[in-house]
A and B are shown apart, each in its own frame.
Chain A
Amino acid sequence: MERKDTSASWRWTVQRRCLTFDSVLFRDGDQFCHMGWKQLPHEGDRLESDASETKVLCSIAGCSAVFSSLKKYEAHYNINHQHVCSICHKIMPSAHLLEIHILETHDNMFGLLAASKNMYQCLLESCTEKFPTACSRHEHMKKVHKYPANFRFDRKKQDRNKPQSTSKSSFQTSQKVKTESYPVEVSSLMDVCTVMDTSGKIEMASNVDLNVPQASTCPSTENDLDVGAKGEGNYIPNSKFNTDTFKKQRKESSMQFPADELSTDLKQCRTEQETFICTNTGNGFQKSIGSLNSNGTSMEDCNTDKVSHKAPARKFTYKVPNNVCFGHGSAKSFQRSKKGFSKKTKEKHWHSTAGDDSITKVNIENVDMSDLSSALMDQ
């Protein structure tokens, strides 16, 4: 009988195994190493400041910051003074973004060139794409590079007062994030500015942001008010508007009310922008439905928010204007003096003034109660 050699089918051949990170073989080793990794305080990291007491003053004109060490000064300089636009003093975080800013904002030729070819380049250095409009570039950043819609370094100066739009994508994706019902925090967000839209910039339309203070079902914190210490929003004292115009415009126009928490370091920027804004008073507003209720937000607002995004002309804002009084907490709402702003008007609202403005006919202090007391004693 022949010996059938069927072993050929399962005979061993050499096996060289290339294993990836999830291989079973590596599990023990992973546990070993990760056990050591999991809580790794960094050693020797914090570059401790020099022991010396040297005080370093920032040497840039207009900046009065003082530092306790050279390193801190260096850091301050790097952030605040290194990539600053010499024309509009806007602070950019990197040379690349500064370049783009100067090119797009301050170069007269740019507008002309942009008409004929794609000039708006992608904000990432590693991506070489160019686009015909800022709007299309913005879409590219959102869709391809997953940037948030309210990216702080992609705003034109004159639109700094306009909050940027909540894009559909970030709005929707942010809904996937676990949302919690946030109590509507109204107190710190009541800063309101009326903002001029430079009417010519239609292409920024879709960049207009919807500042949504959190309603109970509005998703998370991403599409938010520009509460930035950077001061990208601007506070404009409302002295130029009276209540009437305001109320009318509330119904018809778009108000973008960025909140602002201006840091003290931006004095020069602020004063410039302030003048800039004020001179633009009266430029056209875009239409919108300013359905503000006193809470500044509502469910309908969120819904219409989505709807409104399709029609770029309608903008929403949920900030409460400066001269609306709530009664409760009103003292605060009318005295938001930001440092560095000269108060155009020193007048206080009638709620918050002290007693001598009172127009009561009778001064309670001077009333003579003797009649009353004698009447009572008769009993």
Chain B
Amino acid sequence: MDRKDKYKHYVENVEEIRSKRREEDIVLRKEKRDKLISAKRFRFGKDEPVDEDITTEEVINITKQLQKHGPHRLTILQTLRQAFSQGTVFIDAFFSVDNSLHYLVGLLTGTDVDLQLEAAWCITNISAGTHEHALAITKSAAPYLIIYLSSNNSMLQDQCAWAIGNLAGDGKECRSFLHAQGVVAPLVKLLQSPMPAVVQSSAFAISNIARESQEITRDIVQSGVIPLIPQYLTPKPEGRSILSEVAWVLTYISASGEHTETLVHFGILRLVVDLLVKLVSEQPLDGQTITPLMRCLGNICSGPDEYSLAACDNPRILHVLSQYLTSTIRHIIKETLWVLSNMAGEPHVCQSIASEPMLSLITKNLSLGFDIKQEALYVLCNIAWHGEEMTRHLVQQGVLHHIVPILKSSDVELLNLGLAFCEMALRMCPEGVHVMEHCDGVTQLEGLEYHRNEDLASKASHLLETYFYMGEEEVEELG
């Protein structure tokens, strides 16, 4: 009985096998996706010959030798950190040796600065490994890393910040440990360092640690991070990597909505807008930097209308956004549409968006992939919401023609959006009915009447009854 379930599918029926297989697939897919989105970074040596052939036995061997006193320790550490960056199996081998981590922490807190730096590098690469590795490091080494953030050795600061960034990128547990260990204040202070490498590593660490937790983000803001940011929001090429790191920090700060006022107060909004304006003319587009800036703008504009208006203080922004709508990078189109949908809540901005050439660009996107379609629909619905004038304008511009085909799609979200727009068009614009009849909208609606989703079905039938079957009813009444 016990051995039987070690092989073959010891389950009752086919259904269970299928569900098991499905679960496995889901787990695999998730892992794959997680790997791509992993927020950790190994640190590779620059221009160093990489020993590709190192084996786990070798790793175990040299780890043992490490614990003996002597000048060879430096080279051993260098070999180890190269091995770690090649795979977590080597990290496992390292851990399998007694006291290896303890000794490494000892070197980190020791008095030989070269060994200290190399030990910190090893720790950085170990913390980029699996969750267990990161947790082990967090528990035993992280407080020292945090203390050394305030040391005066900039290389050490850089390395410790990077290691902390990897730990924070591991997950919630490590993040809360780090938070308890007091990582926020010294990390924020490092943003003022004169060394660009240090600033970049600390921004990386801050953004990783701010990601998931609003509480930590609050702490970070309280430590005064926002006033330190404007100096890095510059389009200079040499500061570009710092800029993207800092921009990511901004996305997480702006995501909660609590800090929007502070952000605007320190001029962040204006700087972000200016940056987006400047970056659009670069060829090729710097997607790494534009993406976080766009997200920051979108989140700020999801707040009160005044911010959307303030964003348009830079007269070029709308034009620039329309340029982004034609970019070759797909997700930039999508996120630009999202930003526009948020900005369209404000009446004046809305008018500008609804005018040419922006409008036709938006409408064009209705024929692209479903996620872009969705965002375009959000924009249009938000525009139409403003009232009769806007709706009529949209219908006159032929928007309905492009929306009706969407009613054929199978995605519920899209259908809801499409129906919402049609409802507004029919209600507020007298020509709406004619246009819909003309482009075969009635047939689509009728098709939706019997949709599986009851909500959709009822909406569709409501529209039909309200706007298209009146004639028949009158006839019935008369007759």
Instruction: List chain A positions with a Cβ less than 8 A from chain B.
Output: 1, 3-7, 10-21, 25-26, 28-47, 72, 74-76, 78-80, 82, 91, 93-94, 97, 124-127, 144-148, 151-153, 170, 173-174, 176-178, 180, 182-185, 188-189, 213-214, 220-222, 224-230, 261, 263, 265-266
**CB 8 Å contact bits of B229-256 with A (1 = contact, 0 = none):** 0000000000001000000000110011
Contact of B44 among A39, A220, A224 (CB under 8 A): A39
Contacts of B423 in A (CB 8 A): 7, 10-12
Q: How far is the CA of A76 from the CA of B113 in the complex (A)?
A: 6
Rounded to whole angstroms, the CA-CA distance of A148 and B177 in the bound complex is 11
* B117: nearest chain-A partner, CB-CB: A75
Given A42-B43, A124-B182, residue A185 in contact with residue B98 (CB < 8 A): yes
Mark contacts of B153-169 with chain A using CB atoms, 8 A cut-off: 1 yes-contact digit, 0 otherwise.
11110100010000000
| Cβ contact within 8 Å between A227 and B103 | yes
A221 lies within 8 A of B100 (CB) = yes
In the complex, the answer to whether B36 meets A31 with C-beta atoms within 8 Å is: yes
Contact partners of A72 in chain B: CB under 8 A: 113-114
Nearest CB of A to B153, in Å: 5
**Interface hit among B14-22, B64-72, B264-272, B360-368:** B64-72
Nearest to B142 among chain A residues (CB) is A146
A38 touches B41 (CB 8 A): yes
In contact, A25 and B111 (Cβ under 8 angstroms) = no
CA distance A170 to B335 in the complex (A): 45
Q: Which segment of B131-139, B314-322, B400-408 sits at the interface?
A: B131-139
A152 to B299, CA, bound (A): 44
Most buried by A among B44, B181, B211: B181
Nearest CB of chain B from residue A14's CB, rounded to whole Å: 5
Q: Bound state CA distance, A18 and B116, in angstroms?
A: 44
Q: How distant is A47 from chain B, measured CB to nearest CB, in Å?
A: 6
Query: Of A1, A20, A29, A189, which is in contact with the most chain B CB atoms at under 10 Å from its CB?
Result: A29
Q: Is the CB of A25 within 8 A of B38?
A: no
Partner of A7, one of B103, B257, B466: B466
CB < 8 Å: which of B101, B182, B195, B371 contacts A25? B371
Q: If the complex has contacts A221-B102, A261-B106, are A34 and B38 also in contact, measured as CB distance less than 8 A?
A: yes
Can you add 11 more A-B contacts, CB < 8 Å, to A93-B148, A221-B102? Answer: A10-B423, A15-B382, A18-B302, A39-B44, A74-B153, A78-B151, A144-B180, A145-B182, A183-B98, A221-B101, A261-B69
Asked if B312 CB lies within 8 Å of chain A CBs, one says: no
Q: Which chain B positions have C-beta within 8 A of A38?
A: 36, 38, 41
Residues of the A chain whose Cβ atoms lie less than 8 Å from the Cβ of B257: 18
9 residue pairs bridging A and B, Cβ less than 8 Å apart: A12-B424, A18-B255, A18-B303, A33-B287, A74-B153, A188-B67, A221-B95, A229-B115, A261-B67
Complex contact B473–A12 (CB within 8 A)? no
Stretch at the interface among B2-10, B276-284, B326-334, B429-437: B326-334
Q: A28-B334, A72-B113 are in contact. Are A20 and B255 (CB under 8 A)?
A: yes
Q: A12-B385, A38-B38 are in contact. Are A221 and B288 (CB under 8 A)?
A: no
**Interface residues of B, CB < 8 Å — how many?**
112
A227 with B102: in contact, given A16-B302, A16-B345 (CB under 8 Å)?
A: yes
The answer to whether B466 and A4 have CB atoms under 8 Å apart is yes
Q: Once the chains are docked, how many angstroms separate the CA of A217 from the CA of B38?
A: 32
**Interchain nearest-CB distance for B470 vs A (Å):** 7
| B112 at interface, CB cutoff 8 A | yes
Min Cβ gap B145→A in Å is 11
Main secondary structure of the interface of A (DSSP, over half): loop
Please state if A42 and B334 are interface contacts (CB–CB under 8 Å): no
Q: Which residues of A contact B345 (CB under 8 A)?
A: 14, 16
Q: How many angstroms from the CA of A10 to the CA of B462 in the assembled complex?
A: 11
- Is B420 in contact with A12, judged by CB distance below 8 angstroms? yes
Q: Is B441 part of the binding interface, using a Cβ–Cβ cutoff of 8 Å?
A: no
Which residue in chain A gives the minimum CB-CB distance to B150?
A94
Per-position contact with A for B345-384: 1 when CB-CB < 8 Å, else 0? 1000000000000000000000000010001001001101
Q: In the complex, what distance in Å separates the CA atom of A182 from the CA atom of B93? A: 11
Collect the chain A residues with CB atoms within 8 Å of residue B385's CB: 12-14
Cβ of B111 and Cβ of A41 under 8 Å apart? no
Assess the B470–A17 pair: CB atoms within 8 A.
no
Q: Are A12 and B38 in contact (CB under 8 A)?
A: no
Contact status of A21 and B251, CB under 8 A, knowing A12-B384, A16-B345, A127-B182: yes
Q: A177-B136, A229-B111 are in contact. Are A33 and B155 (CB under 8 A)?
A: no
B residues less than 8 Å from A10 (CB atoms) = 420, 423, 459
A225 touches B44 (CB 8 A): no
Partner of A146, one of B95, B177, B291: B177
The complex places the Cα of A38 from the Cα of B44 at a distance, in Å, of 11
Contact B111 A21 (CB under 8 A): no
B228 within 8 A of A: no
- Knowing A72-B113, A94-B151 are in contact, say whether A21-B255 is a contact too (CB < 8 A): yes
Partner of B331, one of A14, A32, A146: A32
Asked if B324 is at the interface of the complex by the 8 Å CB criterion, the answer is no
- Report the bound CA distance from A146 to B182 in whole Å: 10
Q: How far is the CB of A128 from chain B (nearest CB, A)?
A: 12
C-alpha gap A28/B168 in the complex (Å)? 22
User: With the chains together, A79 CA to B107 CA distance in Å?
Assistant: 13
The smallest C-beta distance from B24 to any residue of chain A, in angstroms, reads: 22
Contact across chains for A189 and B99 when beta carbons are under 8 A apart: yes
Contact B36 A45 (CB under 8 A): no
B39 within 8 A of A: yes
Q: What 9 pairs between A and B have smallest CB-CB spacing? A: A228-B106, A229-B110, A185-B98, A224-B102, A28-B331, A18-B302, A221-B101, A12-B420, A29-B331
Is A184 a contact of B98 with CB atoms below 8 Å? yes
B188 to chain A, nearest CB (A): 11
B163 to chain A, nearest CB (A): 13
User: CB distance A41 to B470 under 8 Å?
Assistant: no
**Known contacts A17-B341, A19-B298, A19-B299, A263 near B110 by CB under 8 Å:** yes
Q: Is the CB of B98 within 8 A of A152?
A: no
Task: Assess whether A79 is in contact with B99, with CB atoms less than 8 Å apart.
Answer: no
Q: Which residues of B lie under 8 Å from residue A189 when comparing CB positions?
A: 98-99
- Find chain A residues with CB under 8 A from B45 CB: 41
Residues of B within 8 A of A15 (CB): 341, 378, 381-382
Q: How far is the CB of A76 from chain B (nearest CB, A)?
A: 5
- What are the residues of chain A within 8 A of B109 when measuring CB–CB? 93, 152, 228, 230
Considering the complex, give the chain A residue whose CB is closest to the CB of B254.
A18
Give the chain B neighbours of A227 by CB distance below 8 A: 67, 99, 102-103, 106
Residues from chain A with Cβ under 8 Å of B330 in the complex: 28
Taken together as a complex, chains A and B put the C-alpha atoms of A44 and B39 apart, in Å, by 22
- B338 near A: Cβ within 8 Å? yes
The smallest beta-carbon distance between A348 and chain B, in angstroms, is 21
B-chain residues with CB within 8 Å of residue A44 when the two chains form the complex: 197
- Assess the A47–B255 pair: CB atoms within 8 A: no
Task: Determine which of B64, B67, B95, B111 lies in contact with A80 in the assembled complex, contact meaning CB atoms within 8 Å.
Answer: B111
Name the residue among B36, B111, B338 with the largest chain A CB count within 10 angstroms: B111
How far is B195's CA from A45's CA once the two chains are assembled, in angstroms?
9
Q: Is B81 an interface residue (CB 8 A)?
A: no
| B181–A230 CB distance below 8 A | no
A148 proximity list for chain B (CB < 8 A): 139-140, 143
Chain B residues, Cβ within 8 Å of A170: 139
Q: In the complex, which residues of chain B have a beta carbon less than 8 angstroms from the beta carbon of A4?
A: 465-466
Q: How far apart are A281's CB and chain B's nearest CB, in angstroms?
A: 27
- A73 CA / B218 CA spacing, docked (Å): 39
A16-B152 Cα distance, complex, nearest whole Å? 46
B90 CB within 8 Å of chain A: no
